[in-house]
Amino acid sequence: MFAVVMAMAHMAMGAEAQNTTMAPNSNATMSNVTMAPNVTMTPNVTTAPVTALTVNISMAECKKSQLCAAKPPDCDPAVAGSCFFVSIKKSLGQIFFFQLRGVSSGYIAVGLSKTSTQGQNDTTYVCANSNRKVKFFTALLDKGVLTINNKLHVESVNGSVNNQIIQCTFSATVPNATDTRSIDTSFYLSISNGTFNSVTDTLGSPQAILNSDKAVDLADPNTTVLNSLNSAPSAFCLSQALLILIGVLGMMLL
């Protein structure tokens, strides 16, 4: 009986002691807790846990169960090389399953915008190379600046980093994507990349790789996403024209 009372008293004291050490009025302990290198050296961002991705993202389900977008168009994300790829598959309600693959020394990101003017606090999902492991962030893109907020709901993040090839998959509850009408699940889609400082957890300004030419319905696998940034053909034509011009000039000189 005595032992039980003692044990209970001890437990109560233990609990009290625990709350006392947490209390701000004990400033000696507090200052030493916050000064611990362990605490100050960890970047102050809580990120979703990331499990290793053991396979390469594939385009097999494109136009069947998932919407796909890529640069260059229709490039295969499963083989080596510069292919930026995103696939989106509707799950339940506002939950969508994303697969993102791209090339970057820092991070790759997929953005969803309600307006054609991208970068007005657009929902952005970021997969960064943090010492050859994927670190996952949610962020808002406002006026060309990505601000990590980690407030968007995301689950089941898998990721891999292979040299500069970053791949990640995740399930996200997309804000404002209520599934009543297709207009509600339609977004301007973008892929971007940029630099990442893994010590401070800061993202460099994003370089746009793909911007969809129109709002695309994320719930419709059959949607074809055209890249409004496809300036490659005209640049090619220009350089070709230049070559021909130089050739003609050369021949005239002969």
Ligand X SMILES: *[C@@H]1O[C@H](CO)[C@@H](O)[C@H](O)[C@H]1NC(C)=O
Is 56 an interacting residue with respect to ligand X (CB under 6 A)? yes
Is 34 an interacting residue with respect to ligand X (CB under 6 A)? no
Residue count, binding to ligand X (CB under 6 A): 39
Is 46 an interacting residue with respect to ligand X (CB under 6 A)? no
**Cβ(141)–Cβ(124) below 8 Å:** yes
**Cβ(113)–Cβ(124) below 8 Å:** no
Task: Compute the least distance from the CB of residue 179 to ligand X, in Å.
Answer: 15
Compute how many other C-beta atoms are within 10 angstroms of the C-beta atom of residue 20: 12
Task: Compute the least distance from the CB of residue 8 to ligand X, in Å.
Answer: 12
If phi > 0 it is left, if psi is from -120 to 50 it is alpha, else beta; for residue 150 that is: left
Task: Give the DSSP H or E segment for 237.
Answer: helix 232-253
Is 55 an interacting residue with respect to ligand X (CB under 6 A)? yes
Rounded CA gap, 159 and 50, in Å? 6
Is 106 an interacting residue with respect to ligand X (CB under 6 A)? yes
Is 3 an interacting residue with respect to ligand X (CB under 6 A)? no
Burial of 229 (0-12, 13-18, 19+ CB in 10 A): middle
Q: What is the CA radius of gyration of the chain?
A: 25
Is 13 an interacting residue with respect to ligand X (CB under 6 A)? no
**Options 61, 95, 97, 175; binder of ligand X; rule CB under 6 A:** 175
Is 105 an interacting residue with respect to ligand X (CB under 6 A)? yes
Is 207 an interacting residue with respect to ligand X (CB under 6 A)? yes
Residues that bind ligand X (CB under 6 A): 15-16, 19, 25, 27-28, 31-32, 38, 44-45, 51, 53-56, 79-80, 82, 103-106, 114, 120-121, 123, 142, 148, 158, 165, 175-176, 193-195, 201, 207, 222
